[in-house]
Structure 1
Amino acid sequence: MDAFYASVEQLDFPELRGKPLAVGGSEERGVISAASYEARKFGIRSAMSGKLAIKKCPELIFVKPRFSRYKEVSNQIRQIFLEYTDLVEPLSLDEAFLDVTVNKKGLKSATLMAEEIRLKIFQTTGLTASAGISINKFLAKIASDYNKPNGQKTIKPDEIIPFLDSLEIKRFFGVGKKTCEKMYHLGIFTGADLRQKSLDFLENHFGNSGIHFYQLARGISNSAVVPNRLPKSIGAERTFRENFTSIIPLKEKLTDVCEEVSTRLQKRNLSGKTITLKIKYSDFTLQTRSFTLTYYISSFDLLLDTSLELLQQSNLRTSVRLIGIQVSNLNINQKKAEYVQLKFRF
């Protein structure tokens, strides 16, 4: 979906249309969850602080997120996907992978199918969507960002290598900021530069990820579309209205976070062994501390006891703006789905 949260707000409130809009955050504190395309022209993006955003665009309008509304629209979109295939793997409320190799409507062209789905989304919700079409998830993801907003791109099998060779390395799905900087230092700026590096070279510099990057440069990705993917962790966090320098108020906030995590775990009938405490300081630096138990837990009392112990060990460096808890190493057995090459006409 195109600027999903912001687009929903502009859809529901016509007076916001055509104006620079930020969902979440605030001028004083907070972090932006989504920005309208009008706001993006000023360099405003998700995960940016509200304070910096208002400097870039003094006319910026802040609105509080309405996740229940976003979920409602997301469910409408999900039902459209399911009209075409049951192999739908959601990435978030506004994005999903679809395997349409075998589809319910018997359509032979994936490109025409994407156009039809996008039109149906617009007719149903009033919102625009973009799509990427190719032989695997990696290429489809890159293609989906290529002609945003309200567009789509197809990467045919014979176009894969030329397309990747010309692509900036920072646009490779899965190449984050730090990895990108490291690649720049190694003289890797495009897909062509990456493809010229040997497997030994990439493994020497990127360890176990070396084979992954070696394959990506050749358009190889063996990740299947897996519906209803099980979570690897359950967590929650709180950003405070004012920074805390004492551990006493943090204990109170931590109690609320643990209660929410415990509720989420029990609602899904899950429990976990590894508890991770996340602390974000006023200068936005992060500190994490983890502990792995010998048994699975989901109860509030046990989770809080372990979390408080981690907090006591953390030795706060400066004022704290956010605290969070994540439970991982869950009691679920994930089976790797068999990879199947997608085959259809483009």
Structure 2
Amino acid sequence: MTAILDHRFYPHIIDLIWSHMDYESVAASREVCRGWRKRANRVLQRHLTVRPAPYPDTDDFLLSVKSFTHPDVAYPSFLVQRDDAIHSGFPATVTGMLSDESVKDLFSNIRYLDLQHVQGMEETAVLLSLVMGLKTHYGLRVTRNAMQLYGDVYPEADTGVYFVNSRETTEGNPLVSMYARSLVINLDQPPISYGPLPDDEVEDEGTLWEWLSSYTPGRLKQLTLVFHPSDEERGTFQTYAAPNPRAVAGQTIRWLGDRWISATTLLVGMERFFRSMDEYREYKRQMREYAAHQAERITGTPKRGRNLKIFTHDEYRKRIGDATYTLYTEQ
């Protein structure tokens, strides 16, 4: 007797298989069927970047998880789409390079290409000019070979998912991404800042925007911050000298800075830092007051404070669905 594992009849078995697959296995699973290919693409495009191997004279490549660890922070990747590069007003020198015989096959079988960003080069046009040069053409060839193997890994790169490890994050090297309009950032520590309270002038220093400095108001449609406290941090703020929910709310608003007002900003999982749900609910109430006050100070109306939304993990899961929740919050 032959048993067929079908997601319609055995969804729990299929989900269990996927939960134990590493990223190389996920990539290989794209060959199973169309449904598995779509599911694998969703995982790969949000969690991985393709890199040349660190040793020379090989065609090997690495699949690296997107995270705020060196060198991901120091050398973020741009998602570049060939059609965008040709039709979006790039200088003639860049579009000429893209149409050159020596590199035109670079984009022949792929839609998106992850190019390693060189620190200090902020413009995509300049970046493309740089990577099309002879010094880095080998790296592109390796990346191209990897993409030929893995196919259209980045078909819808509008959402970027990152994981911040506070013990490994490199200070002073911000995340840079040109095309993602929605960011999901998973953090392992609370949003604590010891700068001025919400009534004072807010600067980028000491805030979330220190390492999101490439994003300007209006650029992001949605920013989601998901908190995963470690066991020793769960249920207490004493370590961070925040004695009550009001103080925690004040520090959170300070850490958020003021540019969150221009985008929908979701805080997820703050309940895990409090000892009781009563404390969490008081924190949430104070956050709404602070958000309305800050929005009124900056925009003249407290209504913009509604752009800040606060959810527990369970509420967020219900909001976006189990599959998307797993995709966005599990590394």
TM-score where L is the length of structure 2: 0.27
TM-score where L is the length of structure 1: 0.26
Structure with greater strand percent: 1
